[in-house]
Structure 1
């Protein structure tokens, strides 16, 4: 029987392990943390279920949705409304009727509305030319010439930068438009405005649970080194142990991959200079009553709130996340603000977050049931200009026939669907070349 090691128990690693085990391989998953799931985490307190990391899905996430159906994980649509803040008011967009509400909304001036057509054309052209292929984002390299803000100011004007482009980028990457490539803006628009937004019943970690029940996962077991062996296969070293496997899938973030995979360090290390990770503080606020807002998501331009990037209204995302009659808000801090406050005490983070909550929803004063603070010191990868060319070179250098495969966030746009796609791809490569 073919023995395969998987380094990392996030969605990508668990998907690869599941596919390999289903095909008859003997698979072991090694996870350095004391919990599986990576950035997919759900914290439960009483009848509340708080997604502290990945929070929603798009109906275009075919690989993820196919796997969910296979595992019996239930997916539902969220409420269809998104809010964007401007001048102290939440302007609602009905995502089921985007054009109609986009024309009618007072969020944007008529001049800005007319310029939206330029943005729609540029995104559509990028998709037609295959520039937004999430399975191979190296195809986006020709677009990767300027920041999202530079593009918006050049092609659309400051109003659309502030009240459309930046809210979308902050929602997708928890970072302002000056920090990321316009590729991320185009990807965000393609995700948000061309799909229904969905979520997992019971919490996003239900997918993780369904996979872990079927696998042999070793928690608190960091891998120190993965090297190819001259006679074939790989050696996987852990504290006090080293084992030979026929193949291995590495799914950890780039800094760890550079450290533990010396054979591929020459191709991995150059990308680490162009790809960084955001930090994020996520604050869940449980309330004894819901706010008077039908949206599942409220976005904040930096001109409206430099610190809080967005709020998920989880009770509108899926009613099963809260006790009957209650509310739940998940407030995510922008990366620069998170870096500034990441080591601040919970009380300071709590008070600053609640000030925004009460400003947006004054009816919640006196209704706060509890507050839960989560700190993500490595939240999402975000790219400096030109990084997609480096991603393309990296993917071209990694051989499909190698016993060491990668399914990691530095190979494409990070997300739950791309994690499943790359987990599937790594498993296919191993099954094609290394199964006895």
Structure 2
């Protein structure tokens, strides 16, 4: 039986550890924090169930959904509301993809924009089909460092569609608007978000909690170095009892890039230009509970930058799943755009609550005076911005990493920042490490 240390108990690290364990390895997970899940977390406040990190998943999350089934949690999967909201002219317009005969009549876009959009989709259909939304580094050749998603979308669809559809889609998937995103992300988002939306009853944290319960996870253990030797791997870490070393046959690092490079310098040495140009995504989420139901039936509400440069996007959680709020109540989550988050991080929870309420209640006046709960979550490091050129740099880093070593990298660095990418890269790291150890027995 091979001994493996997994660094990080986020979704990717836990997935890698679970697949390694079921593959016959003896696995220990070292986690610096006090709980599993990383950015995935669910909190309960009275009768409200709040996902404070990643939120949406689609039917296209094949690896993630298979993981849920393997854990015996398929009974918790639920379909969300099919309706998508779009903010235009200060109001929410509901668009129901399940009723295509109504789409030509939606006021979300002008008739001319709808025709231009249809033509653009026909023109780009082959490219959309070829881009894997969760491994976009494989489509690095399409990533033009000198051309943003906004410029690409304007050329393909025209200004109105670029501003009112593609831009908020980029905000939903990258953390900022189309002006800051790679053109590859447009193709990836159009492919990924054509699938129906799903969720997990009881909160997304149930999946990572279940994974952790099946593994040997040691919390409060901060890894400081990973040394790949001729005979194995030595992991140095410290916890409340002091400094320690642990020897193993292999290691999976499921930490974010800036943390992983500190403990394993090989990662930054493989392609120094990657780290030099990384831009952090910083987010704040504010979830507000109301003792009234919104008029909109949408779950995701897309917010174009031109409508509000501060509010990244909105999720109507009560339309995601009935268990997220009491019957007849609403739970609404709003995120800050990463370009403004720095100026928001020092605000008090009360100030952030009032900022969020002003936007939400302006769009949903039926909620005014009915606010009864708030949860504020700050993510000063939520991921990395997939700006123009990001996927080319990501591909070069991936090609530069040693393929025959005992250390593998998990996380969602080489795909879109999503739970599907985290699951996929965790599984890939486990498969590669098991193959390596089997070849060298």
If the length of structure 2 is used for normalisation, what is the TM-score? 0.94
2:232 aligns to what? 233
Matches within 5 A, 1:113-152: 113-128=114-129, 130-132=130-132, 134-135=134-135, 137-145=137-145, 146-152=147-153
Provide the C-alpha distance between the structure 2 equivalents of 1:39 and 1:46, rounded to a whole number of angstroms: 22
Distance 1:304 1:281, change over 3 A: same
1:84 aligns to what? 86
Matched, 1:422 2:425: yes
Matched, 1:171 2:197: no
Range with greater deviation from structure 2 (295-304 or 396-405): 396-405
Matched, 1:11 2:34: no
Distance 1:310 1:384, change over 3 A: closer
Matches within 5 A, 1:221-260: 221-230=221-230, 232-239=231-238, 240-260=243-263
1:388 aligns to what? 391
1:368 aligns to what? 371
1:218 aligns to what? 218
Matches within 5 A, 1:99-118: 99-118=100-119
1:341 aligns to what? 344
Q: Does the CA contact (< 8 Å) of 1:149 and 1:178 recur in 2? A: yes
1:302-356 deviations in Å (ceiling 9; x for gaps): 1211211211111110001112322101111111222221111112111111111
Equivalent residue pairs, number: 432
1:55 aligns to what? 55
Tell me which of 286, 297, 301 is aligned to 1:298. Answer: 301
Q: Does the CA contact (< 8 Å) of 2:49 and 2:202 recur in 1? A: yes
Matched, 1:262 2:262: no
Provide the C-alpha distance between the structure 1 equivalents of 2:395 and 2:128, rounded to a whole number of angstroms: 18
Provide the C-alpha distance between the structure 1 equivalents of 2:400 and 2:101, rounded to a whole number of angstroms: 46
3-state SS of 1:279 partner: strand
Provide the C-alpha distance between the structure 1 equivalents of 2:382 and 2:18, rounded to a whole number of angstroms: 25
Q: Does the CA contact (< 8 Å) of 1:228 and 1:403 recur in 2? A: yes
Shift of 1:88: 1.9
Q: Does the CA contact (< 8 Å) of 2:4 and 2:26 recur in 1? A: yes
Q: Does the CA contact (< 8 Å) of 1:258 and 1:268 recur in 2? A: no
Provide the C-alpha distance between the structure 2 equivalents of 1:104 and 1:82, rounded to a whole number of angstroms: 15
Provide the C-alpha distance between the structure 2 equivalents of 1:144 and 1:178, rounded to a whole number of angstroms: 13
Matched, 1:182 2:189: no
Distance 1:137 1:119, change over 3 A: farther
Tell me which of 411, 416, 425 is aligned to 1:413. Answer: 416
Structure 1 gap ranges (5+) = none
3-state SS of 1:411 partner: coil
Shift of 1:376: 0.7
Q: Does the CA contact (< 8 Å) of 1:78 and 1:316 recur in 2? A: yes
Shift of 1:245: 0.7
3-state SS of 2:413 partner: helix
Shift of 1:380: 2.8
Provide the C-alpha distance between the structure 1 equivalents of 2:245 and 2:102, rounded to a whole number of angstroms: 59
Q: Does the CA contact (< 8 Å) of 1:132 and 1:140 recur in 2? A: no
Provide the C-alpha distance between the structure 2 equivalents of 1:159 and 1:272, rounded to a whole number of angstroms: 35
3-state SS of 1:92 partner: strand
CA RMSD of aligned residues (A): 1.6
1:174-194 deviations in Å (ceiling 9; x for gaps): 2011111111222112111x2
1:208 aligns to what? 208
Range with greater deviation from structure 2 (195-204 or 286-295): 286-295
Provide the C-alpha distance between the structure 2 equivalents of 1:140 and 1:124, rounded to a whole number of angstroms: 18
Shift of 1:202: 0.5
Structure 2 gap ranges (5+) = none
Provide the C-alpha distance between the structure 2 equivalents of 1:87 and 1:40, rounded to a whole number of angstroms: 33
Q: Does the CA contact (< 8 Å) of 2:224 and 2:237 recur in 1? A: yes
Shift of 1:297: 1.6
1:278 aligns to what? 281
1:29 aligns to what? 29
3-state SS of 2:288 partner: strand
Distance 1:306 1:136, change over 3 A: closer
Q: Does the CA contact (< 8 Å) of 1:42 and 1:51 recur in 2? A: yes
Q: Does the CA contact (< 8 Å) of 1:138 and 1:391 recur in 2? A: no
Q: Does the CA contact (< 8 Å) of 1:288 and 1:368 recur in 2? A: yes
Provide the C-alpha distance between the structure 2 equivalents of 1:141 and 1:410, rounded to a whole number of angstroms: 18
